[in-house]
Structure 1
Amino acid sequence: MTAGGFVRVGVIGAGAMGADHIRTITTSVPAARVTVVHDPYAPGDFGGVRRVGTAQELIQAPDVDAVVIASPDRTHADLALACVAAGRPVLCEKPLAVTAHDARRVVEAELSLGRRLVQVGFMRRYDPGFTDLRRTIELGKIGEVRLIHAVHRNASNVTSTDDASLITGSMVHELDAVPWLAGSELTAVRVESPVRQGFRDPQLATLWTRGGVMAGVEVFVNAGYGYDVRCEAVGTRGTVSLAASSPVSSRIAGIEGRVVRSDFVAHFADAYRAELGHWARAAATGTATGPSAWDGYVAQVAAEAGVASLASGRTEPIDPGERPALYA
């Protein structure tokens, strides 16, 4: 499966996210090496890494053992399907697909193969803050969880640019993180916005889980001031929340405060390193063990229900069907 004791990685898409994955693998993931890149638009040689003209050429390349997909969202499902067909372990950036139907196609391809090859880039599951928060919940330190409050703000966003893509491309993180934290799948969603005309940003979602947890999720992709992710779980014996991410507080010109980052990649740098390391170790054995294609599909089912709710003004059910044994 590997050569020279490491996984040879091909990266499709070398924009902001793909370029950062290349840097992270090169500097911080000893189990992997980037050997091939495909991106017809990104400049640079990426440290002399070989470039190819098509994604399919990269997937089939003899010096590629596993693939990272960091191309535009609309390309994810077909590229993931091509990787499964070629038997290549793949880390696919979120979302797995822009529709639940296409995400389900990836699930069905893995079910036909009989083994997992796809990990979806829900990197919050690797973030030290989020993992500590979940561990505190699982240990019962705050009693039974009743509520989760989540905030997801960007200074600006060039990919979530309309009502639907704000949910399918940005809120999808929370649609995965909330049930992961609560330990219970989502059953319903209601999405509203104070904006009535044009791009409805911000949006506020109310989520319900099968275990009785309610969650309020604010997503604001053009908040102006910076990148800001917060999360608090409220239980019957206490609460647990993410701490402020900036390690430095300043007092300058009569103002005391902390720097708010504007770059989501820097904010979650530790999470990306852990995510890529976990993925590379599994890929070396010819499989995937992180957030699954099924997780990507379920999040997209929830996202489509959220889009429907924003349009209808009603609470919409979330029903992805029964989880296959492959993903148990």
Structure 2
Amino acid sequence: MSLGIAVIGTGKMGADHVRRIHRTTSGAHVAAVADPDEARAKEAAAGIDCAVHTDPAAALSAPGVDAVLVASPGPAHEATLLAAFDRGLPVLCEKPLTPDAAGAARIVAAEQRLGRRLVQVGFMRRYDSEYVRLKALLDGGSLGRPLMLHCRHRNASSPSFFTTEMLVNDSVVHEVDATRWLLGQEITAVTVLRPAPSSYAPPALADPQLVLFETDGGAVVDVEIFVNCGFGYQVRCEAVCERGSAEIGTGQEHALTVQSAVDGRGRRGGEIPPDYVVRFADAYDRQVQAWVDATHEGRVEGPGAWDGYAAAAVSEAGVRAQRTGERVPVLLRERPALYA
């Protein structure tokens, strides 16, 4: 009854998923891994009895593969997803579903032709305990109608390949999905404000930025994205409602806070997670376990291909807003009945 999973892509995220499935997830095992870098693939699979490939298609066709976890770079997702569809394999695909809305729409169309959902997109914040509690609070209605979300998304530093566009389509895309999920509303327009870049940002990177969303429910969302803040990884969200507000990510649960006397003076300090793998470790665990459990039962839960398409469409509008400095409307196709 163990689900055999092929992990496609064994970089930082993929290797972490290989470890997770092998050591933490129940009801599943790693049946195959694939990465163009054979040495990296072998390193991720060290100590695991599984097939190792450089070609994703070969990994999908390996004996004992029942499902696929896609953790390769975004531009490679579409081909792997379509190959998985050809084999009828359920997929957990790390965001983005595809880097562009047109590609995501093709995935949605391919699922429609199949007549059933196969894809869950890896927006892991939906499985984070703090986000889950905030979602339940907002849905419960005790604070009244949500009016605004204030979000902060900070990284200690950005990798060398990080571009200004990636501020939106690689980082803020998480706030895109969180906004749609928390509020149950679609984002209708995006505006991006660009302050003077930090002196610690790479020369070609316009960092930080302030991204503004408008929704079809009348809410306004602001997202501070700052990927070279220097002090750690920090994700916060405050929901401001008619009768109160609620904030998550302040550190009480996910960081150690210490009060002590130093040199005769009281001090208060703590730890900030270094990156997303640490901050959202529990969320990743819950996400993969929920996907495995649902796959065993023949169903798909969580964010699907339509959510991946909507996030891609909003991200494209955000990148246009970056470039033009204008408010850019988000144009979504009609939502198919398969995703109702």
The TM-score bracket by the shorter chain reads: over 0.9
Q: For the Cα contact (< 8 Å) 1:88–1:286, is it kept in 2?
A: no
TM-score (norm 2): 0.91
Name the aligned partner's letter for residue 36 of structure 1. Answer: A
Q: For the Cα contact (< 8 Å) 1:118–1:293, is it kept in 2?
A: yes
Q: For the Cα contact (< 8 Å) 2:187–2:213, is it kept in 1?
A: yes
Q: For the Cα contact (< 8 Å) 1:203–1:219, is it kept in 2?
A: yes
- What is the distance in 2 between the residues matched to 1:323 and 1:23? 36
- What is the distance in 2 between the residues matched to 1:33 and 1:101? 33
- What is the distance in 2 between the residues matched to 1:112 and 1:134? 32
Equivalent residue in structure 2 for 1:230, among 232, 236, 257: 236
Deviation of the 1:158 alpha carbon: 2.2
- What is the distance in 1 between the residues matched to 2:25 and 2:231? 32
Name the aligned partner's letter for residue 14 of structure 2. Answer: G
- What is the distance in 2 between the residues matched to 1:138 and 1:256? 35
Equivalent residue in structure 1 for 2:270, among 254, 258, 277: 258
User: Could you list the runs of 5+ residues in structure 2 that have no partner in the other structure?
Assistant: 198-202
TM-score (norm 1): 0.94
Partner-residue secondary structure (3-state), 2:210: strand
Q: Determine what percentage of the aligned residue pairs are the same residue.
A: 43
Name the aligned partner's letter for residue 17 of structure 1. Answer: M
Q: CA separation of 1:252/1:194 partners in 2, compared to 1, >3 Å: closer, same or farther?
A: farther
Q: For the Cα contact (< 8 Å) 2:97–2:308, is it kept in 1?
A: yes
Matched, 1:289 2:298: no
- What is the distance in 1 between the residues matched to 2:54 and 2:16? 21
Q: Which residue of 1 aligns with 2:127?
A: 126
Tell me the alpha carbon deviations over residues 62-106 of structure 1, each in whole angstroms, 9 at most, x when there is no partner: 310000111112211221121112211011100111111111111
Matched, 1:319 2:331: yes
Q: CA separation of 1:267/1:276 partners in 2, compared to 1, >3 Å: closer, same or farther?
A: same
- What is the distance in 1 between the residues matched to 2:123 and 2:53? 27
User: Could you list the runs of 5+ residues in structure 1 that have no partner in the other structure?
Assistant: none
Equivalent residue in structure 2 for 1:301, among 313, 316, 321: 313
Q: For the Cα contact (< 8 Å) 2:51–2:59, is it kept in 1?
A: no
Partner-residue secondary structure (3-state), 2:30: strand
- What is the distance in 1 between the residues matched to 2:119 and 2:86? 11
- What is the distance in 1 between the residues matched to 2:136 and 2:23? 29
Tell me the alpha carbon deviations over residues 20-67 of structure 1, each in whole angstroms, 9 at most, x when there is no partner: 111212222112111111123215233233212310001122310000
Q: Which residue of 2 aligns with 1:91?
A: 92
CA-atom RMSD, angstroms? 1.6
Partner-residue secondary structure (3-state), 2:222: strand
- What is the distance in 1 between the residues matched to 2:52 and 2:246? 46
- What is the distance in 2 between the residues matched to 1:131 and 1:160? 32
Q: CA separation of 1:16/1:250 partners in 2, compared to 1, >3 Å: closer, same or farther?
A: farther
Aligned residues: 324
- What is the distance in 2 between the residues matched to 1:80 and 1:157? 28
Q: For the Cα contact (< 8 Å) 1:160–1:166, is it kept in 2?
A: no
- What is the distance in 2 between the residues matched to 1:90 and 1:142? 37
